[in-house]
Amino acid sequence: MRRALLLAVAVVWLGGLASIAHAHTRSRSDSWWRLDESGAEVRLRMTQLDLSRLRPDTLAPAPGRDPIAAYLARSLVLRAGDAPCRVVEAPVPRRAREGWASWAWRVRCPPGASPRSIESALLLGEAPSHLHFARVETAEGEVSEALLAGDSRRLRLDAEGSPRLHGSGFRDYVALGIEHIATGWDHLAFIFALLLLAGSWREVAVLVTSFTVAHSLTLALAVLGVVRPDANAVESLIGFSIALVAAENAWLLSGRGVAVPAVALAAIAAMGVAGFFGAAALSLLSAAGLALFTFCHFALLERAERPARLRAAVAFGFGLVHGFGFAGILNELALPTERLAPALLGFNVGVEIGQIAIVAVGWPLLLLLETRSGGAWHRLVAEVASATIAGLGVFWWVSRSLG
């Protein structure tokens, strides 16, 4: 009866969490501005998923015009003084890669009006955390960039049209890192799965440090262009890492039987077969590697006198994969070389701040459950949470492998 109750609770949780299962992908858009004396040429790129979030009441009727194009033109504006520059060439669709949509238009500013500024209100009501990346090119060919997000949705330009970059400083990238970890449900699930069975503050510190060192290393390598892993493979492996760590928790709590490893190996084999027939991105060789890793991991864990050390090694190994995932957002921004160092440092600091805050809140709560109930409530929470996280990990792994 207790196992049936745990299964029912896990299913209910999974249903409620289905809406956030895709939340790792940050809502973002990009624009390119070519400034001249009379105004600017504008190009905007946004994902189809973000466009689907626009509410009907947001898309006000525009006689003779595409309501989406009209919304974009009034939500992303160039101002001269206090007045928005006039759209003289309406937004028209441009070719974009799969999953994205692109438009281009032109605006004209009143002669002599200054100072100029770029303002973004894109998805302000639908996705308040939406990130907009603006790249500005002056008539002289100088290129600068800025992040417009949160409370920093305005980029001021000087008299010559050069950005003052109030939106792309070190602190803004720190904030971006904090928000990225806070909304990266897959990374949060992995961290929480590690914490569930941690026995002491020292063990927590070792786990978090292992994960931090690993993802910091691959984050830097990926952003600096030293390593360029396949993004789809990385996201799929992140899902696998979550499912495996949560399954490991369930295995330890259930008495270390053969059922959990057997199911894990069967799932990997099924994905390998799907990859062999072209239905999944996972190749048969990759599936064999994951199966061998999983088999060896459970075998070593069974023999380990101190499982905490092995779990720290796993946290480091999977941390390398998660670091490539963290790098995705900075790589997509295609930052100029001179902006890479502050962006990388600030973003990584933000990720660590967010991660430490999560651990500082989550672990004491788990410790309180352990001490107040003699371990009973802690075990119940660990069982239910592990089942839930394992389900989410499998969902992310399978869905990302299947594209």
* Sheet architecture: strand order including 154-156: 83-84, 76-80, 116-120, 154-156
* Tens-place pLDDT, residues 343-385: 888 889 999 999 999 999 988 888 888 787 677 788 888 999 9
* Tens-place pLDDT, residues 128-166: 778 888 888 887 777 777 778 777 788 888 655 555 444
Say yes or no to pLDDT of 4 above 80.
Answer: no
Confidence label for 33 from pLDDT (cuts 50, 70 and 90): very high
Going by their DSSP bridges, the two strands 143-148 and 131-137 should be labelled as: antiparallel
Say yes or no to pLDDT of 7 above 60.
Answer: no
* Tens-place pLDDT, residues 46-75: 988 888 888 877 776 666 678 888 889 889
Extents of the domains making up the chain: 2-24+184-401, 28-167
| Mean per-residue pLDDT, 256-283 | 89
Say yes or no to pLDDT of 16 above 60.
Answer: no
Going by their DSSP bridges, the two strands 131-137 and 28-35 should be labelled as: parallel
- Burial class, 369, CB count within 10 angstroms (exposed 0-12 / middle 13-18 / buried 19+): middle
Confidence label for 25 from pLDDT (cuts 50, 70 and 90): low
pTM: 0.77
Per-range mean pLDDT, top range of 12-16, 117-121, 178-182 = 117-121
> Among positive and negative, which fits the CA dihedral 32, 102, 183, 310?
negative
Distance CA 41, CA 29 (A): 17
Closest CA to 73 of 37, 27, 121: 121
Distance CA 89, CA 229 (A): 40
Whether residue 159 contacts residue 112, with contact meaning beta carbons closer than 8 Å, is answered with no
User: Residue 141 has what pLDDT?
Assistant: 75
